[in-house]
A and B are shown apart, each in its own frame.
Chain A
Amino acid sequence: MTHPSNPTSSSAVVGQRLRLRADPGRLAAIAKELTTPALLTAFALYLVVGIVTMQVPDGTPFPGPAVFPGLVAAALLVLAGLLVVRSVRASRAGARAGLSEGSPTDAVDGSDAPDAPGTGADGSAVPERTVRVDWRSLLWVVVSFGAFALLLDVLGWVVGAGLLFLGVAKGLGAPGWLRPLVVGFTVSAISYIAFDMALELSLPSGILGWGS
């Protein structure tokens, strides 16, 4: 295994060698493979709709405003197609064990960092572990942030951000309720004082109604 040179890969993010894996079952594996092409296709379609409905002022010389988005959308569709083709081929070849996941990333990059990882005979590189997506944590964070965004004007910064802090902390598995709540309100109050009052950014005061 070579270390990925992708600076935003999972191991770089948390400093540990982890890789998310799909839920068990063939369907979930296919779903994981198709997420990237689906994302690219969806955005390409959005751009295409934008190009079709675009109102170009008369007399705009070539190359007009639609050319560049058109190129981008075409490239996105081609890439999505290539990704699908590759994952289909890999899953066919993947009848031989484990090849579907690792081969495209492993084969690459051997030239960039030739002998970087295999430094020690005792294997200093921690073996990569695969873990499942923790959907409950994901929902905690996403729902907390969504609620924060929608209710911010009503609740105000101190209450809203305090609750956001609580939600995200719970999502990351903080024990207890009182402690994250107290810490959250401390953080939100201090940030309100520092940024709204001292640096004069405008934050909503909401139901507490102080400061404005």
Chain B
Amino acid sequence: MDVLGLLGDGFAGALTPANLLWVVVGCLLGTAVGVLPGLGSSMAVALLLPVTFSLDPTAAFIMFAGVYFGGLFGDSTMGILMNTPGQASAIASTFEGHKMALDGRAAQALATAAIGAFVGGMIASVLVVFLAPALASFSSSFGPAEFFALALFAFVTTSSVVTDDPLKGLGSLFLGLGIATIGVDGISGAPRSTMGVPELFDGISLVTVTVAVLALGEVIYVACLARHLQDGRMVRPQGRAWLSRKELREAAPAWLRGTAIGLPFGVVPAGGSEIPTFLAFGLEKRLDARRRHPQFGRGAIRGLAAPEAAGNSTTGMAMGALLALGLPVSATAAIMLAAFRQYGLQPGPLLFDRSPDLVWALLASFFIAMVVLLVINLPFAMLWAKLLRIPRAYLYAGIAVFCGLGIYATSGSVFDLLMLLGIGIVGFLMRALDVPLAPLIIGMVLGPLAETSLRDAALSADGDFSVLVAGPIPIVLYSVLVVVLAGTVTSRVRARRASRRAAADR
């Protein structure tokens, strides 16, 4: 019951008028970026990061959490109405969701998506409240060897297992790791790769890199495509925006199954909620094929309910893993980890001891955010769809202005603005060449942690690297990693053989 008492204190902290305002602001912003195709929650958090420094940390994180969850509530709206997913996590929801809309059930599809996201997020938040403290106290025994193993795990999974192309994924990761080494070395005090430029002694700020890669790079990229984009037709939903008892009975098991699939992915650094949404969709499709009247292909409510629930349950657990272990599983979580560091806080076991007010207010705000998001999404989905009337040119011009605002406001130097442009161009190139960006962000956030724990471990053992595999926890982590890698390699070889056979048959 100790947890409930702490959570009660958290609610008391989160329900102050000011914090409540930030929850609502975050939810509104998150839904907006989720609804708009192309804008995602990672870009929104990156852009907000510099301008929130004048807020107190609790308010800032409550807002970030609202944005993170809100993106997942809003992203299915355009997928359902226009067959254009708002961000990658809604691709799986779009298949059956848009068919429902074409079938005249757009309002019910929107309701299914909103309730699914609510169910997944709520269950995950409850689990986080009870599991995170235990996880945090378990991880308080972690030393450098354990942290290095965790970071390595995150590197390998985000760069090779979940991306299409391991070579490019690893390239992106090592770019991030390399950028993180620039600046004065914390252990020896030697300036590294600064070329004598004083602006580089503090290193390249993570804020600059994330804003450049996720926001400015995207503006340049969209500019190159703008004249080729054509907007699809929007389905106008009619009728009741709630579900009948029959539809609820149909969707409920899918919501729960989707949630169950999404939960474990929140702790595994697998790049966020894209994969669980596809897995949930695949499972529902296979189950559906066994039924007497298969619904898939004609707007199956389960094909929409499961991925929506999976996406938000992953996000909820991801926040838990971030708080308890300091381990980011997606680009958005990595930026939030960076935000914690900017405030001088280190997520992980110590955070629960040192700043319990912040942790529990943040956890309580998850529940508030879910309710707020359900309220602003369930009845008003059509209002959000009107955001699409903003001309794309003005939208992206506004984003470019906001990039400049954020970076200049935090650094006050022209050097950082030029750096922003340079890295933005690199970000554009990476997008254009289909190099994933998430490994770069993860590499830059976790790179210093990996390096210091590697060196601390080796220094404490007089340069003997075998200490890295001495404890039981690292050994378990490395074995899991080997199993995962072996599984990926075999499935890829099998897929390649299959495609070769298909090519030979042609």
> Is B463 within 8 A of A62, CB to CB?
yes
Q: Known contacts being A43-B175, A63-B463, A109-B164, is A131 close to B228, with CB within 8 Å?
A: yes
Which of these binds chain A: B124-132, B188-196, B350-358? Answer: B188-196
> Is A36 within 8 A of B274, CB to CB?
no
**Residue of chain A at shortest CB distance from B200:** A50
Q: Known contacts being A40-B174, A83-B167, A203-B409, is A57 close to B189, with CB within 8 Å?
A: yes
In chain B, residues 408-431, which have Cβ atoms closer than 8 Å to a Cβ of chain A?
408-410, 412, 414, 417-418, 420-421, 424-426, 428-431
What's the nearest-Cβ distance from chain B to residue A174, in Å?
A: 4
In chain A, residues 81-140, which have Cβ atoms closer than 8 Å to a Cβ of chain B?
82-83, 86, 103-117, 119-121, 124-126, 129, 131, 133-135, 137-138, 140
What's the nearest-Cβ distance from chain B to residue A141, in Å?
A: 5
Q: Which of A60, A75, A135 contacts B188 (CB 8 A)?
A: A60
> Is A124 within 8 A of B98, CB to CB?
yes
Q: Known contacts being A7-B436, A172-B392, is A57 close to B175, with CB within 8 Å?
A: no
Which of these binds chain A: B61-69, B233-241, B473-481, B495-503? Answer: B495-503
> Is B433 within 8 A of A4, CB to CB?
no
> Is B223 within 8 A of A9, CB to CB?
no
Cβ of A178 under 8 Å from chain B: no
Q: Which of B174, B187, B230, B402 contacts A79 (CB 8 A)?
A: B174
> Chain A CB within 10 Å — which of B171, B189, B194 has the most?
B171
> Is A7 within 8 A of B164, CB to CB?
no
Q: Which of A65, A116, A149, A157 contacts B281 (CB 8 A)?
A: A116
| Docked complex Cα distance between A108 and B37 (Å) | 26
Cβ of A212 under 8 Å from chain B: no
Chain B hits for A103, CB < 8 A: 499
Q: Known contacts being A8-B431, A13-B221, A201-B54, is A148 close to B404, with CB within 8 Å?
A: yes
Cβ of A46 under 8 Å from chain B: yes
> Is A4 within 8 A of B164, CB to CB?
yes
Q: Is the interface of A mostly helix, strand, loop or mixed?
A: helix
Chain B hits for A208, CB < 8 A: none
Cβ of B347 under 8 Å from chain A: no
> Is B167 within 8 A of A82, CB to CB?
yes
**Residue of chain A at shortest CB distance from B493:** A107
What's the nearest-Cβ distance from chain B to residue A87, in Å?
A: 10
> Is B171 within 8 A of A50, CB to CB?
no
Scoring A residues 54 to 68 as 1 if CB is less than 8 Å from chain B, else 0, what string do you get? 111100111111111
Scoring A residues 140 to 172 as 1 if CB is less than 8 Å from chain B, else 0, what string do you get? 111011101110110001000100111111111
What's the nearest-Cβ distance from chain A to residue B55, in Å?
A: 8
Which of these binds chain A: B88-96, B108-116, B315-323, B379-387? Answer: B88-96
> Chain B CB within 10 Å — which of A105, A138, A168 has the most?
A168
Cβ of B140 under 8 Å from chain A: no
| Docked complex Cα distance between A104 and B492 (Å) | 11
Which of these binds chain A: B17-25, B77-85, B255-263, B364-372? Answer: B77-85
What's the nearest-Cβ distance from chain B to residue A86, in Å?
A: 7
| Docked complex Cα distance between A3 and B414 (Å) | 40
Chain A hits for B455, CB < 8 A: 63, 67-68
Chain B hits for A64, CB < 8 A: 188, 190
In chain B, residues 98-142, which have Cβ atoms closer than 8 Å to a Cβ of chain A?
98-99
- Chain B interface size range: 35 or more
> Is B278 within 8 A of A113, CB to CB?
yes
- Chain A interface size range: 35 or more
Chain B hits for A15, CB < 8 A: 37-38, 78, 84-86
Scoring A residues 168 to 183 as 1 if CB is less than 8 Å from chain B, else 0, what string do you get? 1111111000001001
Chain B hits for A5, CB < 8 A: 162-164, 271, 274-275, 278
**Residue of chain A at shortest CB distance from B399:** A168
Q: Known contacts being A5-B274, A63-B454, A138-B224, is A55 close to B88, with CB within 8 Å?
A: no
Chain A hits for B206, CB < 8 A: none
Chain B hits for A115, CB < 8 A: 282, 285
> Is A50 within 8 A of B459, CB to CB?
no
What's the nearest-Cβ distance from chain A to residue B411, in Å?
A: 11
In chain B, residues 330-381, which have Cβ atoms closer than 8 Å to a Cβ of chain A?
330-331
Cβ of A39 under 8 Å from chain B: yes
B residues apposed to A, CB below 8 Å: 37-38, 40, 51, 54, 78, 83-89, 91-92, 94-96, 98-99, 162-165, 167-168, 170-171, 174-175, 177-178, 181-182, 185, 187-195, 216, 218-230, 271-272, 274-275, 278-279, 281-282, 285, 296-297, 303, 330-331, 391-394, 396-398, 400-402, 404-405, 408-410, 412, 414, 417-418, 420-421, 424-426, 428-438, 451, 454-455, 458-459, 463, 488, 491-492, 494-496, 498-499
A-B contact pairs, 25 of them (CB 8 A): A7-B272, A10-B434, A14-B37, A19-B434, A36-B435, A49-B195, A54-B190, A60-B188, A63-B455, A63-B459, A68-B181, A73-B178, A79-B170, A108-B165, A115-B285, A125-B95, A131-B228, A134-B227, A137-B226, A150-B414, A171-B223, A184-B397, A195-B51, A195-B405, A195-B409
Taking A5-B278, A7-B330, A150-B418 as known contacts, 13 extra A-B pairs with beta carbons closer than 8 A to each other, sorted by chain A number, are: A7-B89, A7-B436, A7-B438, A55-B191, A68-B455, A79-B174, A105-B165, A107-B495, A109-B164, A140-B223, A167-B397, A168-B223, A169-B393
